Amino acid sequence: MVTPKNAVRIHSHKTPEECSISTHVPRLTTHDTWKDERVMPLLEIKNFTFSYPQALQPALKDINLSVAKGEFIGITGPTGAGKTTLACCLNGIIPHFQGGRLQGRIDLQGTSIFERSTAQISRLVGSVFQDPEAQIISTEVEQELAFGPENLGFPPREIERRISEALELVGITELRNRPTINLSGGEKQRVAIAAALAMLPEILLLDEPTSELDPVGTEEIFHVLSHLNRAHGITILMIEQKTEQLAAYANRILVLNGGTVALEGEPWQVFARQNELEEIGVRIPQVTRLASMLGGHDKYSLPLTVEQCRIFVERMLRRQI
């Protein structure tokens, strides 16, 4: 869990009626049970600060984060909050390709990420970026998925197995022999996800992968990620501005602001703090805002999804009859 000095941390082991602000939060597992503190986290960031060269202020300040295997964590925040910088620290771009001043630790499976080569990191962290056009380099889908394993020297039979499994996991087996230039935006992003999965990573790290997609394409990507997380236990770290989808799919939300973690908790806990989110430029889901305007609720019963909002409105109407 996140424990920055100035962050608001929210209990999640109590009932909504008992929930309160606290300085200690037990770690969550993907099933919302408590993680055994003796089990080594998959990813752990300790007192981490990073500054770009010649920068007057650090881009990330005193970040502490512990991620258990199988979590789906949504990371959001205003422009310039440090979200992409954090992603670059997790996939090895910082410090291997982008220099700067580092303090603290980032451990991946118990070993400092800065002691690993980019090839080693790529086997553990699969990255998917905003623009699939900038990520896809091959002319055919099959070649795109083979690129990573081939560069790591895997034998042909193993590469074939990884391609087939990744295509099936993402649900795009029919695209295997398609030219990448003929794919839609949503299809290209799913190919990028499949290419990352072909490396068999422990963590799938996505930096606003739906930013250029329409609502249908966005929902398709979130559905794929949810399936990978729930059915196959793949750990998801997703930077995203679309809070409606994060509220519906993530089991934990981190809000970054000014390089620090401002809020952290389960979706219903974080998005109930409407005033604080609006002050830092993060919008809450539209259905949550609507329910807040209608009144007749407490902060623990605010809906996060359309279905929850439907039930909320029906209950309000029944009370008025």
Q: What is the pLDDT of residue 305?
A: 74
Q: 201 is in which domain, residue-wise?
A: 8-267
Q: List per-block mean pLDDT (blocks of 10 residues) for the chain, which spans 321 residues.
A: 50 36 31 48 95 95 94 96 96 93 95 92 93 92 96 93 94 96 93 94 94 88 93 95 92 95 90 89 83 64 72 70 56
CA distance 33 to 25: 13
The reply to whether 293 falls in a domain is: no
Q: What is the pLDDT of residue 28?
A: 29
Total domains in the chain come to: 1
Q: Is 181 helix (H, G, I), strand (E, B) or coil?
A: helix
Q: What is the pLDDT of residue 194?
A: 96
User: Which residue is associated with the tokens 């963590």?
Assistant: 203
The reply to whether 128 falls in a domain is: yes
Q: At what angle do helices 215-232 and 156-170 cross, to 10 degrees?
A: 120
Partner residues linked to 103 by β-bridges: 49
Q: What is the pLDDT of residue 107?
A: 96
Q: What is the pLDDT of residue 4?
A: 46
The reply to whether 67 falls in a domain is: yes
The reply to whether 303 falls in a domain is: no
Q: Give Cβ neighbours of residue 185 (< 8 Å, ≥ 6 apart).
A: 132, 212, 213, 214, 217
The reply to whether 309 falls in a domain is: no
Q: What is the pLDDT of residue 195?
A: 96
CA distance 48 to 59: 11
The reply to whether 194 falls in a domain is: yes
Q: Are 285 and 106 in contact (CB under 8 A)?
A: no
Which H, E and C letters describe 69-108, residue by residue? CCCEEEEECCCCCCHHHHHHHHCCHHHHCCCCEEEEEEEE
Q: Are 246 and 72 in contact (CB under 8 A)?
A: no
Q: What is the pLDDT of residue 29?
A: 33
Q: What is the pLDDT of residue 24?
A: 32
CATH of the domain at 218: 3.40.50.300
- Angle at CA of residue 99, ends 90 and 133, nearest 5°: 60
Token pair belonging to 310: 């439907």
Token pair belonging to 85: 């910088």
Distance of CA 215 to CAs 61, 79, 244, 316, Å? 34, 21, 11, 29
Q: Give Cβ neighbours of residue 1 (< 8 Å, ≥ 6 apart).
A: 9, 25, 26, 27, 28, 65, 66, 252, 264
The reply to whether 278 falls in a domain is: no
The reply to whether 1 falls in a domain is: no
Pick from 223, 149, 224, 158: which is nearest to 191 by CA?
224
